[in-house]
Copies of this chain bind each other. A is one copy, B any other.
Amino acid sequence: MSIFAHYTHDFASDPDAALQTADQYFQKTGVRFTPLRRRVFEIILRAGKPIGAYDILKRLRDHGKIAAPISVYRVLDFLIEQRFVHRLATINAYMACVTPEDPHAAQFLICQCCGSVSEISDPAIDKTIAEGAATAHFKVSYPLVEIMGICADCAKAGKTAGKCKPD
């Protein structure tokens, strides 16, 4: 259990449970969770870390599915809209979020050394952003916060942004 456990979504710890949650959610809402959509969501969940669109495509094909990029992007758009998946613009990757019922603004800590990403959900950050935008009379639809830096593990190993190997 990491030091972030109380703070991050344990989005990758149990893909099966997450899929079940999704099944129930879509059953309840009547939104169509088709086999393709479910399959893509499962791939993202089992990746255990952010995954690129073309990696998803590769894994679809590994399972005998013939698919084009556009199929993946369409499903990603759907899953993002349904709040089951986040897009990380800085690294062009996608990761799962298992708490779509609880709409929240998420922030991401992206390690420049090891590539790991932690999702946090800090209301204080969300609040100051909302206030800053309001000052500019700007109506927020989606606040994207991607914090680049060095994670605790890499920092402990003596790594820095410029040099990702220990001294």
Contacts and interface: CB of A to CB of B under 8 A. Distances in A.
Contact of A132 (B3, B124, B152): B124
Interface in A110-137: 111-112, 118, 120, 122, 124-125, 127-129, 131-133, 135-137
Number of identical monomers bound together in the oligomeric complex: 2
Interface stretch (A15-23, A28-36, A61-69, A143-151): A143-151
A129 to B, nearest CB: 6
A132 B120 contact: yes
Interface residues of A, number: 41
B142 A131 contact: no
A112 to B, nearest CB: 7
Given A138-B149, A138-B152, A152-B138, A109 B133 contact: yes
